[in-house]
Every structure is written in structure tokens, then in C-alpha cells.
Amino acid sequence: MPTRVLVPSGVLGLGFDPVALARGVAFRPDIIAIDGGSTDSGPFSLGTGTSKYARAVTRSEWRQLMRARAEAGVPLVIGTAGTCGTDSTVDWMHEITVELAAELGQRLRIARLYSSQPPSRLAGALSAGRLHPLTPAPALTEADLPQMTHIVALAGAEQIQAALATGADIVIAGRTTDTGIIAALPLQRGDHPGAAWHGAKIAECGALCSTNPTSGVILVDFDDTGFEVEPMAEGAACTPHSVSAHMLYENADPFILHEPGGYLDVTGASYQALGPRRVRVTGSVWHPAPYQVKLEGARVAGFQTSILAILRDPRYVTHAEDWIARLQAFLAETIAHRMGLSAGSYALDFRLIGLDACLGPLENRRGSPVELGVLGLITAESAEVAAEIGKLINPFVLHYPLAADEELPTFAFPYSPAQSDRGAAYEFALNHVMDMDDPMEAFRLEVSDVAAG
């Protein structure tokens, strides 16, 4: 059965064109689906189990989508709620939804899909040989698992289908693949499986597959041989090039996409323009495979304090690398002497902004900067030790001379104090997949009814 999916934007929190959204609703979609997450900003969100977007922005955009859902009378699904899709961010999104339901006077059934994983489940899978590293993967032993602050599994289409089967008006899903929330309904209704996953991949970033990426809203029609995609914003267009080029985006392999329960191959896909702004795609193939879900985990890598100074004296700018090498050696000695810390028990990294701070050893150009930023990053086993090292190095980052026999220089500190305590620094600790017998065995559904206030 043909299925029409409205995708308001690539992620909740980055905005969409409200006129385009209204136009999309007028096309009577069968479901509205939006992604809420990404690993793209780094491990902090998953490490802390918090959203990277402001609550006020999330709330205001979600309010618009809840009104659109009420008007369309179809389910609204968000995947990877709250950036990382932990249980805590699902609850955060649920709280916002309940508030808005009261405000809007909506009577709702809400299904929450939880994706957080207890370390014990992964430990069991690891010892049973059901946890497999992808390339490249961090080393993993059972002892590493309880160290992780949050672990999530990426749900696919089946778990979203289970959530929809509860009769939910709104599905708030924890970590899901970007595509699973869009592919779920077309797959359930028997549309072409290759088209369901391919169309989901094309639409998952919203209007990024069109000529006007920031307009957000995209409409996808799935059927039994292919899919058609069209942007909802005035003046935006989907062309065979804009659509097919989207397979390149943030994809290591532009032809193969692994999902729970199989993989998509778009090598033989053909992209046909239907008029100036709509594209039809056929020929993508879904290959079923044993059911595996991808895992993500984050752990504390240490606690950081940073310090920032600016060199403007031409002699120091010219000799900055010598200066930083000498300063670093001096500081290692001083930290060992004053604090009794060996070199291996903390890290002090300096980056020269204006020289090679961005690319480091890969940088192959030199310019003639008039000033250089000196960013010091201290990583230690506790916030107290990191802060103490920051205080200790502060006067030397301010005054350290190039030569022993010169008057003490003073560099520019942009604020007081020059050091900033950054708290815990997190790192990604898993790039693995887990075998599953039943798609729901690592996920949990909760359903609640909200009465109008």
C-alpha cells in the first residue's frame, strides 16, 4: 500500500520552514517522522545523557509538530530523542510532550521506546560471542562495560513498528538509526523494502537532499516498486543529482547502508526526474541478514581544565614552537616537583591557534600570523587535580621567557582567570554490533495516555 511520510527536518532543534510544514500536512501524510539525534557533536551528549539543543528550542519546534500531527490525525515519531537517545533523554522529551499536551489541550497516547542498555546485557553477549567489533573498534573487555556512563543500542524499523502497533499518537524513541523511523511504516505496509530504506536514507536529513537544504520539510511517497521525493518549500527542488548525491553525506560507503536485520545496496538505483522538483527512485535492493543492532557507549576519559593566552610580540610569534617546547618541558618538571605527579598520570597538550591547531601533524602550510593563540588542555583523573594543574601553570603561561637572560615577558590573557574548568571529558568507547534473536529483546516499550487538561 502506498505510504506517504512527511519529514519536517533533518533534526529537531535546527528549525524548519513553517509554511512548508503546513503544505506537507495538506498533502495528507500517513505519518510524520523526525530524527532528534546525532553523534556528530561528539561524545558529550551520550556521556552525560543530555540533549545538545536548548529545551526552549526543542519545545517550540515540538509544539509546532504536535499541532501538525493533530491536524493531520496521524502518528508523530521522533527517533533518537534528545540527541543521544538514552532513557534520560526519552524521559526529558516525554516531559516536554506532556507539558505541551496540556497546553494545547490534546488527548494523546504516547509510546516511549527505551534503548539504553545495562552493562550486564552486553557482558552476557560478550561472553556468549554475540558482540562483534566493527572496524575500527576500541578494545573491549567485560571490565570496561561498567565504566561507561551510558550505552545505547540503535533500534531499527521493527521496534518503531512495535511502538506504532500500540496505537500511539506520538512515539518518543530512544536511540534509533536515522532511517528506521522513516522506513518503519512503509515496510509494515508492504512497500518495496529497498525503496523503504533508500527513501528513508534520502529523507533523514530533511531538505539536505534538495536544492534548499535549510528549508527542512520533505515529503516521500513509497510504493511497491520505488519511492518519490519532493521538498515542501517554495522554490526548493529535488533533482536526480541532489537526491543521489545525498548518499555521499556522512557515509563512508555511498552504496551500502547497514541496518538492523540486513543491508541496503543502491548500486543499481536509478534516479528519474518527474518534473522540475520531484524525483522517482527505483532499483535499490534490500538484503536481509541475521538481526544485529549497533551499539554506542561513552565513558569519562578524564577531567579537563583549559587555559588560553595570546602571543602578539613578533619575536614570540616567530619562535612560538621553540617557546612551547621549552615551556612544556619546564612545566612537566615543575608539576612533578610541586605536585608529585608523574608524566603519565595527567596530560598537558598545547595547541598553537594560527599555526597548526586544527590539523596538527597533518598541517603542511605555514603562514605569517600577527598573533597566535596558545590553548593549553589539561586532562587529569579528577577535576580537582586538573584545576590545580591549571592554577600551577597559569603564571608560566603568562610570563615564560624564550631565553633565561631576558626580562619576563607578559602575554595577553583574554579573561580572568585564564583557565576554565571543563568538567568531565567523555570518549566514545564502543563501535560494536550485538546479535539478537528478537528485535525487542534489548528494547523496552512503555505506553501512557495523556488526557486533555
Partner 1 sequence: MSRLGDLVVKVRSKNAGPFWVTVDIFCGDPVRFAEVAAGIDTARVAALYRQAEAALRRFDIPALSVVKFSFPRPVVQGSREDRDMHGAAWAVLLAEMEMGR
95 binds partner 1 (CB under 8 A): no
139 binds partner 1 (CB under 8 A): no
Residue 110 or 229 having the CB closest to partner 1: 229
Residue 400 or 426 having the CB closest to partner 1: 426
Q: How far is CA 77 from CA 1, 65, 262, 374, 439, in A?
A: 20, 10, 22, 46, 19
CB atoms within 10 A of CB 128: 9
* Nearest alpha carbon to residue 203 among 174, 228, 223: 228
* Rounded Cα distance, 10 and 203, in Å: 8
Piece of the chain touching partner 1 by CB under 8 A; list 14-22, 42-50, 173-181, 312-320: 42-50
358 binds partner 1 (CB under 8 A): yes
364 binds partner 1 (CB under 8 A): yes
Q: Are 394 and 419 in contact (CB under 8 A)?
A: yes
Piece of the chain touching partner 1 by CB under 8 A; list 129-137, 173-181, 315-323, 384-392: 129-137
Smallest distance from partner 1 to CB 437, Å: 26
DSSP for 164-233, please give it: HTTT-SEEEESSB-TTHHHHHHHHHTT--HHHHHHHHHHHTTGGGGSS-GGG--EEEEE-SSEEEEEE-S
Piece of the chain touching partner 1 by CB under 8 A; list 106-114, 388-396, 407-415, 421-429: 421-429
39 binds partner 1 (CB under 8 A): yes
Piece of the chain touching partner 1 by CB under 8 A; list 7-15, 17-25, 252-260, 322-330: 252-260
Smallest distance from partner 1 to CB 178, Å: 11
Piece of the chain touching partner 1 by CB under 8 A; list 72-80, 105-113, 219-227, 346-354: 346-354
How many residues bind to partner 1 according to rule CB under 8 A?
42
- 269-308: which residues touch partner 1 (CB under 8 A)? 301-302
Piece of the chain touching partner 1 by CB under 8 A; list 100-108, 113-121, 128-136, 437-445: 128-136
C-alpha cell at 269: 538505483
C-alpha 259 chain-centroid distance: 17
Residue 64 or 211 having the CB closest to partner 1: 211
* Rounded Cα distance, 183 and 330, in Å: 58
Smallest distance from partner 1 to CB 331, Å: 17
Residue 164 or 301 having the CB closest to partner 1: 301
* Nearest alpha carbon to residue 119 among 290, 381, 295: 295
For 256, what's the count of Cα atoms within 13 Å in the CB-facing half-sphere?
7
C-alpha cell at 220: 516521500
DSSP for 263-291, please give it: EEE-TT-EEEE-SSS-EEEE--EEEE---
27 binds partner 1 (CB under 8 A): no
- In 115-169, at which residue ranges do the beta strands (DSSP E only) sit? 131-133, 148-153
377 binds partner 1 (CB under 8 A): yes
Q: Which residues have a Cβ under 8 Å from the Cβ of 252 and sit 6 or more positions away?
A: none
136 binds partner 1 (CB under 8 A): yes
416 binds partner 1 (CB under 8 A): no
424 binds partner 1 (CB under 8 A): no
71 binds partner 1 (CB under 8 A): no
Q: Are 34 and 8 in contact (CB under 8 A)?
A: yes
245 binds partner 1 (CB under 8 A): yes
159 binds partner 1 (CB under 8 A): no
* Consecutive H or E run containing 65: helix 55-72
C-alpha cell at 277: 522538483
Of the candidate residues 105, 276, 288, 361, the single one contacting partner 1 (CB under 8 A): 361
143 binds partner 1 (CB under 8 A): no
C-alpha cell at 215: 528549508
381 binds partner 1 (CB under 8 A): no
249 binds partner 1 (CB under 8 A): yes
Backbone torsions φ then ψ of 408, nearest 5 degrees: -65, 125
Smallest distance from partner 1 to CB 45, Å: 10
**What residue ranges bind partner 1 (CB under 8 A)?**
39-44, 134-138, 241, 244-245, 248-255, 301-302, 347, 349, 351, 357-362, 364-365, 377, 379, 425-428, 431
